[in-house]
Amino acid sequence: MTAPAVGGATSEVGALRTVLLHRPGAELRRLTPRNNDQLLFDGVPWVRRAQEEHDAFAAALTARGVEVLHLDRLLAEVLAVPAARAELVAAAVDDPRLGATLKRTAAAHLADLSPEDLARALVAGLAHDELPGARGLSFELMRRGDFVVPPLPNLLFTRDSSVWVGDQVAVASLTMPARHRESTITAAVYAHHPRFTGAEQLYDASLEHLEGGDVLLLAPGVVAVGVGERTTPGGAERLARRVFARGLARTVLVVPIAQQRATMHLDTIATMVDVDAMVMYPAVADSLVAWTVTADVPPDDDDTTDLVVRGPAPFLEAAAAAMGIERLRVIDTGLDPVTAEREQWDDGNNTLALAPRLAVAYERNTVTNAALEAAGIEVVPIAGSELGSGRGGPRCMSCPVRRDPM
């Protein structure tokens, strides 16, 4: 008999019980002015301070009764499993840059490492001068600072590589090349770690691009999916079919967002802070629209269900109708256009709800946080001057594994 799933979430605001984080480490030390753009960071962070900020974030969650799981620790534990080890070594060297000779050399080196050392190498990467006995044309033509296995500094943002919908986990299909390998790590943890025995997988990295930052669980049975720079219409459609077929949702709202860095995910412009309230970037509040997707006939197949698409309609109206409420309250990021733009860029919209009317937010967004407090939302402020250099806030840095049902 299959063991019951160990996680689940039906909303963004049910009391948070278990969360998956990744403490930044040596992978951030790999960032330089030469490669930070390619690795999707807007600057070169002060790593020690970023770690201190992240430790304070984890401590704030623990103090509120949230169980914190650390991805790097889970990874080291699953690398003691031969099947997981083989999968992740193969994924690490599956790179056409390497050529056959360097690929074999790198794979042999990684395979000989202890689980802990292999976990560090998979996350922090493997540089040209860190591979003993390396040879081959590709290796000889590499510069000393090049990576045989690139680092994964964005692993910090655990929300993107997986999201729980009901009692099933969707492993994301990440769009940007610098992030592709993150999904292999997340998938291996869910597949091989005993903590997740019995967890059923809803989505996987082989499918159309879909990222967790674009998925908002507005209410039980209602899922919003942003479509923009990172998630494609095909990914939203595939997720809709699957949640309908598995009885995880009755309505999916597909929300187009601008395809640009500042609004890379839906959760960069709006996040839930109460059962009927969200903090939202005011510049988009009036223009944001949604297509309402349903299945009139009870679906019986993951990928061939006929969908009914209606719209577009104003997002706030469509969301309220799908949620069965009169209106969705909006708390603005900032009180004037300049402040709003600054605080949206600094992840003022990217809050993590710990329970209804209780949310973690970056302390620097003082105007937005004051608006939240005035609206009856208790704010747990955390520092993020260095963590934010990768453009992500408390929600981006956390994957809720288990929330209480609403």
Whole-number pLDDT of residue 5: 44
Compute the distance between CA of residue 325 and CA of residue 165 in angstroms, rounded to an integer. 21
Does the pLDDT at position 298 exceed 80?
A: no
Taking only the tens place, the pLDDT of each residue in 204-217 is: 999 999 999 999 99
Tell me the CA distances in angstroms from 303 to 166, 211, 242, 246, one per residue in order. Answer: 18, 18, 7, 11
Compute the distance between CA of residue 281 and CA of residue 337 in angstroms, rounded to an integer. 10
Question: What sign results for the dihedral spanned by CA atoms 7, 248, 9, 187?
Answer: positive
Tell me the CA distances in angstroms from 363 to 248, 334, 354, 374, one per residue in order. Answer: 35, 14, 16, 16
Q: Are 328 and 271 in contact (CB under 8 A)?
A: no
Does the pLDDT at position 2 exceed 60?
A: no
In terms of average pLDDT, the best of 50-54, 281-285, 299-303 is 50-54
Beta bridge partners of 253: 224, 292
Residue of 16, 102, 396, 399 marked active site: 396
Whole-number pLDDT of residue 263: 58
- Domain ranges across the chain: 154-403
Is 396 noted as a catalytic residue in this protein?
yes
pLDDT band at 385 (very low <50, low <70, confident <90, very high): confident
Does the pLDDT at position 247 exceed 80?
A: yes
Whole-number pLDDT of residue 260: 57
> Which strand (E) or helix (H) includes residue 49?
helix 47-63
Q: Are 272 and 12 in contact (CB under 8 A)?
A: yes
Q: Are 386 and 393 in contact (CB under 8 A)?
A: no
DSSP string, 307-356: PEEEEEEEHHHHHHHHHTSS--EEEES-SSHHHHHHHHHTTTT--EEEET
Whole-number pLDDT of residue 258: 78
Q: Position of tokens 């890379």?
A: 264
Whole-number pLDDT of residue 336: 66
H helices within 125-164, ranges in order? 137-140, 158-161
Whole-number pLDDT of residue 74: 97
Q: Are 221 and 251 in contact (CB under 8 A)?
A: yes
What's the mean per-residue pLDDT of the chain?
Answer: 89
Question: Percentage of the chain surpassing pLDDT 70?
Answer: 92
Whole-number pLDDT of residue 346: 60
Whole-number pLDDT of residue 345: 55
pLDDT band at 365 (very low <50, low <70, confident <90, very high): confident
Rounded (to 5) percent helix, strand, coil in the chain:
40, 25, 40
Whole-number pLDDT of residue 268: 87
Q: Are 273 and 359 in contact (CB under 8 A)?
A: yes
Architecture of domain 154-403: 5-stranded Propeller (3.75)
Nearest to 288 by CA among 268, 258, 259, 264: 258
pLDDT band at 244 (very low <50, low <70, confident <90, very high): very high
Beta bridge partners of 294: 308
pLDDT band at 324 (very low <50, low <70, confident <90, very high): very high
Residues 6+ apart with CB under 8 A from 196: 6, 7, 169, 189, 190
Question: Percentage of the chain surpassing pLDDT 90?
Answer: 66
Per the model's pLDDT, the better-predicted residue between 269 and 304 turns out to be 269
Give the N- to C-terminal CA distance of the chain in Å, as an integer.
Answer: 29
Compute the distance between CA of residue 9 and CA of residue 400 in angstroms, rounded to an integer. 7
Per the model's pLDDT, the better-predicted residue between 236 and 229 turns out to be 236
C-beta atoms surrounding 130 within 10 Å: 14
Q: Which residues of 240-261 are buried (b: 16+ CB within 10 A; e: fewer)?
A: bbbbbbbebbebbbbbbbeeee
The pair of structure tokens assigned to 331 is: 């708390």
pLDDT band at 401 (very low <50, low <70, confident <90, very high): very high
**pTM for the structure as a whole:** 0.92
In terms of average pLDDT, the best of 6-10, 153-157, 388-392, 396-400 is 396-400
Taking only the tens place, the pLDDT of each residue in 37-87 is: 676 677 787 889 999 999 999 999 999 999 999 999 999 999 999 999 999
Q: Position of tokens 């929600």?
A: 395
Q: Position of tokens 């000889």?
A: 140
Does the pLDDT at position 343 exceed 70?
A: no
pLDDT band at 165 (very low <50, low <70, confident <90, very high): very high
Give mean pLDDT, residues 252-277. 85
pLDDT band at 344 (very low <50, low <70, confident <90, very high): low
Taking only the tens place, the pLDDT of each residue in 309-319 is: 998 999 999 99
Beta bridge partners of 308: 294
